[in-house]
Amino acid sequence: MQISLENVTYVYGEGTPFEKEAISNLSLTIPQGAYVGIIGQTGSGKSTLIQHLNGLLKPTSGTLRMGDLEINRKTKQTREWRRRVGLVFQYPEHQLFEESVIKDVMYGPLNFDMPADMALLRAREALNIVGLPYDEFKDRSPFQLSGGQMRRVAIAGVLAMQPQVLVLDEPTAGLDPAGRKAILEAIYGIHQEQKLTTILVTHSMEEVARYADMLVVMAGGQIVMQGKPEDVFIQAERLRSLALDVPETVSLIHKLNQRLPMDQQIPLTLYREEELERHLLAMLTSGKGVRR
C-alpha cells in the first residue's frame, strides 16, 4: 500500500493558550514495500507524523491517501485505515493488560473480527517471529516479563493483526544491544518476506543505515531532507547542524577517502556495514593497499 501525505499540518490544543503546531505542511510519499527510516531530534514531530499514518490523529489541514482511502480533517471512519496500518507506539509495553501473553497478542486480531482459531494461529506466529517461543510464553502473565520481553509481546500484538503497513516508533529505545538487534532483525525479516511496507522512527543512524532504503529527516515539524540514505548521508554538515550525525560507516568512508587516491575512493553507497567490509577486504587482498 502506498501512502501519500499532502500538505499535512497538525496543531495540538487548537484554540487554547497551549496551542502548538507540531508538524507543518508536510508532503511525503511512502512507496509500496519500502523500508522508510524517520529520524530527527526529540520534539521534531516524528510521533505526531506517524500517528497520522493510521488515522489516530486527523490532520488540522491537508490530506492523507492510501489506495482508495482518504483522511482529512472531517473524516469520521478510520477503522479500515487502522486495519491496514499497524502502529507500534513508543514504549508499547505500557499498553499490555491481559492476564496471559497469548490473550494480549490476540486482542488486536479479535478486535478486527478475525475468527478465534485464526487469531490464535497468527498470535503464535507473531510470538515466534519476535523470539518468544510460543509454548514457553503463551500462559505467562505479561506483567511478570522483563521490559524487553514485554516490548516483544507488544510488537507481536501488532504483527498478529497482519497489517499491510507496519509503523514502529522507536521500538528499540531502552533495550540492550542484543535485544535491539533481535527485534530489528525480526522486523526486517518479515519486511523482506512479506514485502511489508515498514516505517521505522529512531534516533539511531546506525539502525536506519542498516535497514532503510529511504530516509526522512525531520526538524522543527518539517521534513528537511528525504531520499536515498546515501543522498542524505552525503550532507554530513547539514545533519550535524540538526544535531544528528552520520553513521559510523559513513564517517569511516569519509576519513578513508581523505587519504585514498582519487581512483580508489570508496563510494558512499557502501554505507552498509557488510558491503563496506566486503569492499575493504577486496581492496586489501587485491594488493592495492592503503598508501601511508
Minimum gap (Å) between residue 21 Cβ and Mg ion: 16
Q: Given strand 85-88, what is the order of strands in its sheet?
A: 85-88, 165-169, 197-201, 35-40, 214-219, 222-227
User: Toward another protein, which CB reaches closer, 18 or 133?
Assistant: 18
The residue whose Cβ lies closest to ligand ATP is 47
Residue 174 in contact with ligand ATP, rule: CB under 6 A: no
Q: Give 10's strand partners.
A: 23
Spatial separation of the C-alpha atoms in residues 169 and 39, rounded to whole Å = 10
Is 41 or 72 the residue whose CB approaches ligand ATP more closely? 41
Select from 30, 39, 44, 47 the one that contacts Mg ion (CB under 5 A): 47
44-68 per-residue burial string, b: 16 or more CB within 10 A, e: under 16: bbbbbbbbbbbbebbbbebebebee
Q: How far is the CB of 221 from ligand ATP (least distance, A)?
A: 7
CA distances from 165 to 49, 86, 114 (A): 15, 6, 18
Question: What residue ranges bind another protein (CB under 8 A)?
Answer: 13, 15-18, 51, 54, 56, 79, 82-83, 86-87, 89, 92, 94-97, 107-108, 111-112, 143, 157-158, 161
Q: Considering the rule CB under 6 A, would residue 22 count as an interface residue with ligand ATP?
A: yes
Tell me the C-alpha distance between 164 and 196, whole Å.
6
Q: How far is the CB of 67 from another protein (least distance, A)?
A: 19
- Answer with the entry of ligand ATP, another protein, Mg ion, none that 87 interacts with (C-beta below 5 to 8 A by kind): another protein
Binding to ligand ATP, residues 110-139 (CB under 6 A): none
- What does the block give as the cell for 182? 533481535
Shortest gap between Cβ of 56 and another protein (angstroms)? 5
Alpha carbon 46 to its chain centroid, in Å, reads: 10
Helix residue spans in 130-234 (DSSP H): 134-137, 147-159, 177-194, 205-211, 229-233
Site for ligand ATP, rule CB under 6 A:
12-13, 20, 22, 40, 42-48, 90
Site for Mg ion, rule CB under 5 A:
47
